[in-house]
Amino acid sequence: MFEFDADDIAQRSSTGTLPTKTQVDELVAAAHARYATLEEGVVADYIPILAEADPAWFGLSVVGVDGTAHEAGDTGIAFSIQSISKAFVFALVCDELGHTVVHEAVGVNNTGLPFNSVVAVELNDGSPMNPMVNAGAIATTALLPAGHADERWQRIRDGLSRFAGRQLALDGEVYRSESFTNHRNQALARLLQSYDRLAIDPVEAVDLYTRQCSLAVTAHDLAVMGSTLADGGVNPVTGERVISPESARDTLALLASCGMYERSGEWLFEIGLPAKSGVSGGIVAISPGKGAVGAFSPRLDPAGNSIRGQRACAYLSRALGLNLFASDPQPLVSPSALAHEGVRS
Ligand code: DON
């Protein structure tokens, strides 16, 4: 593992504040209005039940780290969380087992290939590469400590529910539809097993992964879940600490590099936020210290990312000043003032 030799340096946060409530409300409404008639992209159908989604659905929610919600459109419509679950299951596993274990067992680098790629595993000597692609997510779910499958499932569901601040329910129709058709995920799990990269039985691992993807959420839930990561692991609505600040930081770092699959680089270049998408049309984008955007619209681009959701996130990143890399110059601070604050020169 590469050492950056900076453990003794105090880390400063780039925390700022969102504009006023009225301004954020207006900008969320403006982003929604601007993209609500956009009809590019197609609804996913490789999981048969997902094809039944109404392509017109579009919900946009921003939840600040003070817990305030700003919403427009279909923010109360429930849909299956799909791949967005990968971010939050990773957060739970990282919190439980620590940074280094997940780094070594699963990896933290982008594959540059689609989310369900078998080739990516083969090209990397059996490494699933990162927890945001299907192979890595199945391997990560398998790492969650539990005595048996039911307990592992309860821990996943309860953990994601704490991020959302309400008890999340399984969408049984989505779970059954995906269970009948997830042959590729089963193949990925067997492949990982052949490389000794799966901590539990492959059938159990894929079943748990399919369940976690079938949890029903809304755009509002996604914004609350994301805002918990933005708030150092504390749910800003319930006040509950869900994970440590270090695990929230590690999750955001992974989302920045891998959350939007092979489009992660372009996403970061244009939008500058850690984010995760799901094939049912959800996106969560997180602005550390400020809050999160939860978007839902089922029309997808070829990488599996919601088109309206991406555009709305780009708009809000600019209009609300969320981009991590967009900073204003600050007045110079003298070395003696830094020393006074306890920062080593
Ligand atoms: O495993 C699958 O294929 C789905 N349960 C999740 C894929 C997904 O959401 C990809 N996202 N864009």
Q: What is the pLDDT along the chain (345 residues), one digit of tens a residue?
A: 435 445 555 444 344 689 899 999 999 999 999 999 999 999 999 999 999 999 999 999 999 999 999 999 999 999 999 999 999 999 999 999 998 999 999 999 999 998 999 999 999 999 999 999 999 999 999 999 999 999 999 999 999 999 999 999 999 999 999 999 999 999 999 999 999 999 999 999 999 999 999 999 999 999 999 999 999 999 999 999 999 999 999 999 999 999 998 899 999 998 999 999 999 999 999 999 999 999 999 999 988 999 999 999 999 998 899 989 888 777 787 777 767 766 554
> Are residues 129 and 107 in contact, defined by beta-carbon separation less than 8 angstroms?
yes
How far does residue 83's CA lie from ligand 1's centre (Å)? Answer: 5
> Is the distance from the beta carbon of residue 35 to the nearest atom of ligand 1 less than 6 Å?
no
Q: What atom of ligand 1 comes closest to residue 304's alpha carbon? A: 12
Residue whose structure tokens are 């197609």: 42
The tokens for 136 are 């890595």
The tokens for 89 are 């299951």
The CATH topology of domain 21-83+216-319 is Beta-lactamase (3.40.710)
Catalytic residue among 24, 85, 86, 214: 86
> Is the distance from the beta carbon of residue 185 to the nearest atom of ligand 1 less than 6 Å?
yes
How far does residue 256's CA lie from ligand 1's centre (Å)? Answer: 18
> Is the distance from the beta carbon of residue 247 to the nearest atom of ligand 1 less than 6 Å?
no
> Is the distance from the beta carbon of residue 213 to the nearest atom of ligand 1 less than 6 Å?
yes
Superfamily (CATH) of domain 85-213: DD-peptidase/beta-lactamase superfamily (3.40.710.10)
Residue 151 has a CB neighbour count (10 Å cut-off) of 12
The residue whose CB lies within 8 Å of the most ligand 1 atoms, and thus the one to mutate among 79, 82, 113, is: 82
Strand partners, 217: 79
> Is the distance from the beta carbon of residue 285 to the nearest atom of ligand 1 less than 6 Å?
no
Residues of the chain with CATH 3.40.710.10: 21-83+216-319, 85-213
